[in-house]
Amino acid sequence: MKTPRSSRKAALVRDAESHPDAMIELRGVVKKFSNAAGVFTVLKGVDLTIYRGEFVSIVGKSGSGKSTLLNMVTGIDHPTDGKVVVHGTDIYTGVTESQRSNWRGKNLGIVFQFFQLLPMLTLLENVMLPMDYVDMYDFDERPQRAMELLKLVGLEKFANKLPVLVSTGQQQLAAIARAMACDPPLLVADEPTGNLDTRSADTIIQLFEQFVAQGKTIVMVTHDPSLTSRTHRNLIISDGELIDEAVSRSLPQLRHRHMLEFTKLAEKRVYQPHETILSRNQNVDHFFMIRQGEVDVVLQQKSNKEYVISRIGAGEFFGEMELMRGGKSVANVRAAESPVEVLALPRAEFARVMDESPITADAVAKILQKRLEAQKIADQRVTPRD
């Protein structure tokens, strides 16, 4: 019996808890694979929010779960547990495979490392394909729109060529034009430059930057550090778990294994505006990494007059001076005008990893040295010699 059209209509629902500015929300996402050897957990409870208009890169060792994570967002694969909300829609609850596939065609552009253009179709026909698939834009309008997209990526002269007749860089540009065919708000790319020379890779990233400037959201897995430096946020995944960005930004030289340890061992603390985090002469037994907000480092004059020697924010750390020199707090540290969220790592864990990671210890020591110099200058200003 034929199902009435109304009951076959997409049951995609807006998620009630979705953040209005979020493009991607993962809540406790677990992915397990089973094979002959048993069950293997690839994603171990991933929580992540990516906001509209963000350009986000994801890095991690081979096998750490990057592609699996992207597949959760695109709906190519499904999570074992947890929730995935994309563009306000819960893409797994009460949705059939074909509804999800239709939704994907209209809302997502996907780019892979190996282009995956259909070899028997011209570039123009490849770009028209997604519009045909989800039946978007008038039939007569599609060739013109596809041509405009090819023009955008600089391939209008090659529109009627088969993929094999253009370079690999041009094939990837055509794949990007195809991904943008239905004007999706989100582009997801899995190592889009992994198979390209530096120049072609740069062209692709410039194009991505242009899309982001127009308000698109882009999530890109990459191995190339010269590309991660051009994104707004860089996420690191280690053995199926995301590293807290406060850790990776504060201590970028750490091994991923250590970053993950810090992520798990550190305690999240929130301070209200102007609340004291460390008081002068207090014993310091944590290393602090700022997740959100800013803190002021304040010196006090004998007259009780205060002097703010520095203001530091998300991705920076404090407390190292005391931990590395084994002393008490030399200054007051307190939240600036807005609430501050920090990760507080116990002293012993910090010391152990600094011992195991001389490159990080060295980087922290250099920052410490700079701060000591700045403090010396400030001290002289606060208590002028006569």
Ligand X SMILES: Nc1ncnc2c1ncn2[C@@H]1O[C@H](COP(=O)(O)OP(=O)(O)OP(=O)(O)O)[C@@H](O)[C@H]1O
- Which of the listed partners (ligand X, Mg ion, none) does 65 bind, with a CB threshold of 5 to 8 Å by partner kind? ligand X
Q: How far is the CB of 76 from Mg ion (least distance, A)?
A: 12
Among 188, 191, 190, 195, which residue's Cα sits nearest to residue 171?
195
Least separation in angstroms between CB 236 and ligand X: 11
Give Dmax over CA atoms of the chain in angstroms: 98
Q: Which stretch binds ligand X (CB under 6 A): 17-25, 56-64, 89-97, 280-288?
A: 56-64
Among 22, 23, 29, 42, binds ligand X (CB under 6 A): 42
| Tokens 């061992």, located at residue | 265
Which of ligand X, Mg ion, none has residue 33 at its interface (CB below 5 to 8 Å by kind)? ligand X
Q: Among ligand X, Mg ion, none, what does residue 63 contact (CB within 5–8 Å per kind)?
A: ligand X
What's the first-to-final CA gap in the chain, in angstroms?
Answer: 98
**Considering CB under 6 A, how many residues would be counted as binding ligand X?**
11
Contact 60, 66 (CB under 8 A): yes
Smallest gap, in angstroms, from Cβ of residue 291 to ligand X? 25
Q: How many residues does the chain have?
A: 386
* Alpha carbon distance 156, 158 (integer Å): 5
Of 62-101, binders to ligand X (CB under 6 A) are 62-68
Q: Which residues bind Mg ion (CB under 5 A)?
A: 66-67
DSSP string, 161-209: S-GGGS-HHHHHHHHHHHHTTT--SEEEEESTTTTS-HHHHHHHHHHHH
Identify which range of 57-65, 97-105, 260-268, 309-317 contacts ligand X by CB under 6 A. Answer: 57-65
Q: How far is the CB of 171 from ligand X (least distance, A)?
A: 20
List the single partner that 172 binds among Mg ion, ligand X, none, CB under 5 to 8 Å by kind. none
Nearer to ligand X, 15 or 190 (CB): 190
- Starting at the edge strand that comes first in sequence, how are the strands of the sheet with 186-190 ordered? 108-111, 186-190, 217-221, 55-59, 233-238, 241-242
Please identify, among the stretches 59-67, 141-149, 211-219, 268-276, the one whose residues bind ligand X according to the rule CB under 6 A. Answer: 59-67
Question: Least distance to Mg ion from the beta carbon of 118, Å?
Answer: 22
Nearest to 188 by CA among 28, 47, 56: 56
Nearer to ligand X, 68 or 360 (CB): 68
Question: CB 78 → ligand X: shortest distance, Å?
Answer: 12
From ligand X, Mg ion, none, interface partner of 58 (C-beta below 5 to 8 A by class): none
> Of 26, 9, 220, which is closest to residue 110 (Cα–Cα)?
220
Q: Are strands 89-90 and 81-86 parallel, antiparallel or unpaired?
A: antiparallel
| Single-letter amino acid, residue 214 | Q
Would you tell me which residues interact with ligand X (CB under 6 A)? 33, 35, 42, 60, 62-68
